[in-house]
Structure 1
Amino acid sequence: MKEGAQARPGGRTARTRDAVLAATLAEMSEHGYGGLSVEAVAERAGVHKTTVYRRWATKASLVVDAVSVFAQSSVGVPDTGDFAEDLRLLAQAIRLALSGRDGGGVVRALFSGASEAPEVRALLHRFWAVRLSQVRPIVERALARGELPAGTDPDEVFKHLCAPLYSRLLVTAEPITPDAADRAAAAAYLVARAGILVLPPVAP
């Protein structure tokens, strides 16, 4: 490279990584964790399998990377200045993520694969940790504005928001409709406002 020239941001390496991770999510969505293979991922991504193995030594490490990126990018964190609206928008974002081409399949694969392999159980915990980290700022901002009782547990708010949506995906196999997402957000809002999700006092 000539002096003073700058490398392109990302470039071929970044494009290859994105293609491999997208292919991993698609394969996982279609075939589950157990049916996913590095060879199939490489073929779908249009790269040689040695290219995949050079960066990800095992199938588990590849899936961990793909799902971590998926969890970070698939749901945005709203900041409208209103707790109820933030919850509603978050619920709708989760609905869209779970209803997307790969989203629901990836989540189903994680839950089914958790009984197959320890690394998938660990990955499922990481997936939830990322999701929980996304809702904490919403609750912290609401606490600062005085919209919630002091001591409200952000993790419990998230669980109450998500449970109806994930139940439709994993238990009842019902469509996750916009109305269902709005109802889940409204219920979580009312429960939180009522002080039911306040952390118990810590014993001295």
Structure 2
Amino acid sequence: MSGGRGGRRPDPTVDAAILAAAVELLAERGFDLTFDEVAARAGVGRTSVFRRYATKQDLVLAAAEQVTIERIDVPDTGSLRGDLGTAVARVYSVFGRDDVQPLARHALAAAYQGSEGGTLLRSVLGRRSDLVTEVLERAVARGEIPDSGRALLVADLLSGVIMARLATGVPLPEGEEADRVADALVAAAGG
């Protein structure tokens, strides 16, 4: 959020209403939403939206953070396989949620058109890469792999399964299938 431009502090209930409206509209219609539609859905004036978000991209990213870009922590389980298994389970549980899937599908489709979806997708993928780098660096410190140089490849594989499944409407891996994904990530990491 841009935090306002001076004067009174923004009303947190208005902030929440605007973000909730934006999330709903993004899930319903994708990135073609307008500030007027968000304001109407939130039950606030158009200026309330503009005071908080200078651009539609700012609004879209703030709304998306409500449901998709939350920080996913992976505790140190003591092994690369354990850490990657936990990462798979946690990342897939977020992207498997009913409130996230429509937004993620719209972001994926819009990314190819160079719109706000591309910015959102880059942000999400950047966070996944950071998560994987952290996991691989722990594995290096434990002596399980020689270096974390394959972090981008592992992050791409983790995210690639999400994108392929979202694009085709096939549910994200769970159980044994998720375990096989984690095994493939360990192999890709050099473990």
Same fold (TM over 0.5): yes
CA deviation after TM superposition for structure 1 residue 167, in Å: 1.2
Equivalent position of 2:85 in the other structure: 88
Moved over 6 A (4+): none
Equivalent residue runs for 1:66-85 within 5 Å:
66-68=63-65, 70-73=67-70, 75-85=72-82
CA deviation after TM superposition for structure 1 residue 162, in Å: 2.7
RMSD: 2.4
Q: Secondary structure at the match of 2:11?
A: helix
CA deviation after TM superposition for structure 1 residue 17, in Å: 2.6
TM-score, length of structure 2 as denominator length: 0.81
Contact 2:108/2:163 (8 A) holds in 1: no
Equivalent residue runs for 1:1-204 within 5 Å:
13-34=11-32, 36-68=33-65, 70-73=67-70, 75-170=72-167, 172-179=168-175, 180-194=177-191
Aligned-residue sequence identity (percent) comes to: 32
CA deviation after TM superposition for structure 1 residue 131, in Å: 2.2
- Give the Cα–Cα distance (whole angstroms) in 1 for the partners of residues 68 and 88 of structure 2: 15
CA deviation after TM superposition for structure 1 residue 71, in Å: 4.2
Contact 2:84/2:182 (8 A) holds in 1: yes
Q: Secondary structure at the match of 2:109?
A: helix
Alignment coverage as a number of residue pairs: 182
Contact 1:161/1:188 (8 A) holds in 2: yes
CA deviation after TM superposition for structure 1 residue 160, in Å: 2.0
- Pair member with larger Rg: 1
- Give the Cα–Cα distance (whole angstroms) in 1 for the partners of residues 84 and 188 of structure 2: 12
Contact 1:77/1:135 (8 A) holds in 2: no
